[in-house]
Structure 1
Amino acid sequence: MATSPPPMIVQVSKCLVKPSSCPNPAVNICHLTHWDLPLLSLNYIQKGLLFSNLPSAFSIESIIDRLMSSLSVALCHFYPLAGRLKTERVLDNNGKISGLQVSIDCKSQGAEFIYAIAPDVTISDVLAPSDDIPSFLQSFFPFNGAINHDGHTLPLLAIQLTKLSDGIFLACCFNHVVGDGTSYWHFFNAWAEIARSTKEGDFTISRPPVHDRWFIEEENPPIKLPFSDPEEYIERPNPPPLREKIFHFSSQSIAQLKAKANKECNTDVISSFQALSALIWRSVTRARCLPPDQKTSCLLSIQYRARLQPQLSPDYFGNSMSAAVASATVGELMAHGLGWAASLVHQSVTLHTDTAIREFVRKYHQKPVVYRLSGLKNSSLMIGSSPRFDMYGCDFGWGKAVALRSGIADKFGGKVTSYPGQEGGGSVDIEVCLLPESMASLEVDEEFMACVSPSQ
């Protein structure tokens, strides 16, 4: 009888890490806002850092001990991540359920820490610079398939350290209801700062999080979702088979794109990332072979901290973001050049003023909703994350990461994730998820590939 091959990834241990004995905040319940609640049916954020050839002085045992002890301290500062979600049913005067209120129960239930090994996997296997992202990478992330609502029973934060044959992969799975990408990387960098600190017992971090949840008016009560049961809004994504690939854009290539877009529009207001987003939108739309009268949209994730008046603190810990939406027909997008598409993206971003944001909040309080990925059309493109996030600044004392990767969270045909390039200087890495036939067309798209740079 033939035996099956051993699994590539083997889980060695799993435990809960709770906040250390630092002073606990006088907060038991953290109410969710109009930016948090819509995300209940989406996936956790999954991002990870790849480190190569650690110095021999760092044994895997010492790395695990340091990660767990520093995580315990980090959870003192970012205490919502150690909690669990809590839903309360609101009753009307007749005793019938009139809605649901969801909050974070901050009782230090703990975050999950997993140690796994992949002895036959190498750094080069993970990088695969000219190939698709390898499917085994999904096993480096915990909570695959979990949606944010699952934070009622699952930890709101899970860490997995996977030891490879010549390096390690450190993955962080973070409930999106607790915070956005800005908050995610704020936490990741603060944890790294604590881990590399040589001051024993010092709980100080350079950027303490601001936990006061932002409401349009202080007198607003906690938001009540218009459902009687969570099953009415829960949706579990089931995407078709996809191809995922990383494309690298050098700072020079992006500068040329920006100059071209602004020149075509006779302006200087189009940003580098807006020009890059326009290139991706046009190229992916062309690769999909959509009919000319089909409407297509480019959704660009933008954060609101600096757009509000007065501004929110850049260290606000929570969600403060939405999507700027540029739309056109396929025929219009193909008939015009890069600059025309970039101007649409730019205009969609500028619409998100303080006044517009506050109007959205007022409307959400009147009619709360929970987003569903199934609501996105097959002609849409969603560009998430940001090359402005300090991803490579996560220095745990082992040196700079050699690459960033993400898990399967919220992946669908048309999902694009942006990262800073490893070499810095304004370079950008773009992770594209498409149906196989669309990816094959993108790989030979002349306009797109002429701007792609060799991987560093």
Structure 2
Amino acid sequence: MLKSSEPQLPDCIYQNQPVLICPARPTPNHTLYLSNLDDQKFLRFSIKYLYVFRKSLDAETLKTSLSRALVDFYPLAGRLRRRVADDDRKLEVDCNGEGAVFAEAAMDFSCDEFFEFAGKPNRALMRKLLYRVEAPDFLDIPPLIIQVTNLRDGAVILCTAINHCICDGIGTSQFLHAWAQLQQSAASMNDVSITAVHSRHVLEPRRPPQVTLAHPGFTKIAPETQAGPNVFEFLQSQRLVTSSVTFPASQIVHLKRHCYPSLKCTTFEVLASHTWRSWVRSLGLPPSFEVKLLFSVNIRNKMQPEMPQGYYGNGFVLACAEAKVKELNVHHGVKLVQNAKSMISDEYVRSVIDLLDDGNVRTDLSASLVISQWSKLGLEDLDFGGGKALHMGPLYSDIYCLFLPVAGEMDAVRVVVSMPESVVDKFEFYMAQFDADGLVAKNHYGVDHFKMVSV
């Protein structure tokens, strides 16, 4: 139940039923192999993007350009299925051209009112902005669902749900930019800058599988047999609220000073360390408890030979840093992140792929913070002809952490994660707590979270 004091979001009004958008011309009718990186159970969900554009987008031209984009990205118009009936271990895509779902709606809300609401988003309410396909199974949901919601003042909200088993963040960005490019002109897919590469066989497991390295980010241990608290299960049992903290370039530089001169680091490395430490401290975990940080690393240039340009499948693995709670500080955390990144090589990736051939292996989420970086994918640059988006982010946040771009601030990063309502203030305090100098991180809408105190 919603508290009466919580902001409300009006219902979407659908004047027409959603339609299926098929490729503009016949596409190959075949079965697409999915790699072991594609169909991990960890990835069996849809990546849900939300864009807010000031100028309206014409639905009919969007449908036309989408139809043309699906000629190249035709698996998104297909349907996922089990390779073997009643066996969830391997999935594939039936490239049958059945189509993507496209819904158009109206909402009695202005753009400014939406931004006020979005300052404290409610997951259940945000779901209104994406058409819900009722289906008995995840595999029965079309891989691509789109909703265009027209606001009262002419602004528009564009939401997309793209099946993560078919593509990763780089792949989704590639598809969205191809669609936007076709929307802006009469160009054909031959004129789109990068053509989609469909084959996933470059990431096939070796025969026989050869797990040659240690992979601490995975486990075969049943959750009930693990020692210590299961943080993931705790989080899932709580009422979660969204924390959104933006770090402008000046504050990122200040964080990096904790590592200089003995340690040079990237923005991702220092923010990942700082966020991990803040997350752990806010949850009050025991000092000797082992915690992990899992974060995605692009492998396209790690393989030998390098993967082809345009590969839009899941071309990443999760690097894993681990430490005891009492060991975590920004400097040490950065070193752990750097060491985890340095482990990712061609052999490491192939060892992961072979490890995943065992259907009992799963990503170890029991005491892990998972970070996905969206801030370097160019998602904020999407332009369908009326200018770049005023806002870009997830439809709603989850227990996984996202690093997002900030519109108009090239070097800023917005950190978004859902935390238990009982500890979110504590988490945001630690995120703002750089040192005793009084620097304060801002939330996404520029409001101070806390006045700093000496520590």
TM-score by length of structure 1 reads 0.81
Tell me what 1:34 maps to.
Answer: 36
Paired residues for 1:17-32 under 5 Å: 17-21=21-25, 24-25=27-28, 27-32=29-34
- Does 1:376 pair with 2:355? no
Distance 1:360 1:146, change over 3 A: farther
Tell me what 2:259 maps to.
Answer: 261
- Helix, strand or coil: the match of 2:318? strand
Of residues 251-260 and 441-450 in structure 1, the stretch that sits farther from structure 2 once superposed is 441-450
- Does 1:342 pair with 2:334? yes
Matching residue's letter, 1:376: L
Distance 2:276 2:297 in 1: 16
- Does 1:12 pair with 2:3? no
Question: Which consecutive unaligned segments of at least 5 residues does structure 1 have?
Answer: 91-96, 222-236
Distance 1:315 1:43 in 2: 22
Distance 1:291 1:51, change over 3 A: same
Tell me what 1:295 maps to.
Answer: 290
- Within the candidate set 146, 151, 156, 1:168 is matched to 156
Matching residue's letter, 2:293: C
Q: State the Cα deviation string for residues 284-317 of structure 1 (Å, max 9, x = none).
A: 2111122212222111122211111221134202
**Are the counterparts in 1 of residues 203 and 353 from structure 2 also a CA contact under 8 Å?**
yes
Distance 1:284 1:238, change over 3 A: closer
Distance 1:258 1:8, change over 3 A: same
TM-score by length of structure 2 reads 0.81
Distance 1:31 1:209, change over 3 A: same
- Within the candidate set 67, 72, 86, 2:67 is matched to 72
Question: Which consecutive unaligned segments of at least 5 residues does structure 2 have?
Answer: 1-7, 209-234, 447-455
Tell me what 2:379 maps to.
Answer: 391
1:40 to partner: Cα distance: 6.8
- Helix, strand or coil: the match of 1:276? helix
Tell me what 2:401 maps to.
Answer: 416
Distance 1:214 1:304, change over 3 A: farther
Distance 1:143 1:311 in 2: 38
Matching residue's letter, 2:337: V
1:386 to partner: Cα distance: 2.4
1:169 to partner: Cα distance: 0.6
- Within the candidate set 139, 146, 169, 1:159 is matched to 146
**Are the counterparts in 2 of residues 142 and 173 from structure 1 also a CA contact under 8 Å?**
no
Distance 1:241 1:218, change over 3 A: closer
Matching residue's letter, 2:13: V
Q: State the Cα deviation string for residues 220-266 of structure 1 (Å, max 9, x = none).
A: 69xxxxxxxxxxxxxxx966321113211112222332343243xx1
Distance 1:6 1:384 in 2: 28
Tell me what 2:425 maps to.
Answer: 440
Paired residues for 1:321-340 under 5 Å: 321-333=316-328, 337-340=329-332
- Helix, strand or coil: the match of 2:80? strand
Distance 1:330 1:214 in 2: 40
Distance 2:370 2:192 in 1: 34
Matching residue's letter, 2:275: I
- Within the candidate set 106, 125, 128, 2:95 is matched to 106
1:353 to partner: Cα distance: 1.1
Paired residues for 1:268-283 under 5 Å: 268=264, 270-283=265-278
- Within the candidate set 212, 220, 227, 2:199 is matched to 212
Of residues 36-45 and 8-17 in structure 1, the stretch that sits farther from structure 2 once superposed is 36-45
Distance 1:339 1:443 in 2: 20
CA-atom RMSD in angstroms = 3.0
Distance 1:10 1:157 in 2: 21
Distance 1:109 1:278, change over 3 A: same
- Does 1:308 pair with 2:303? yes
1:214 to partner: Cα distance: 3.5
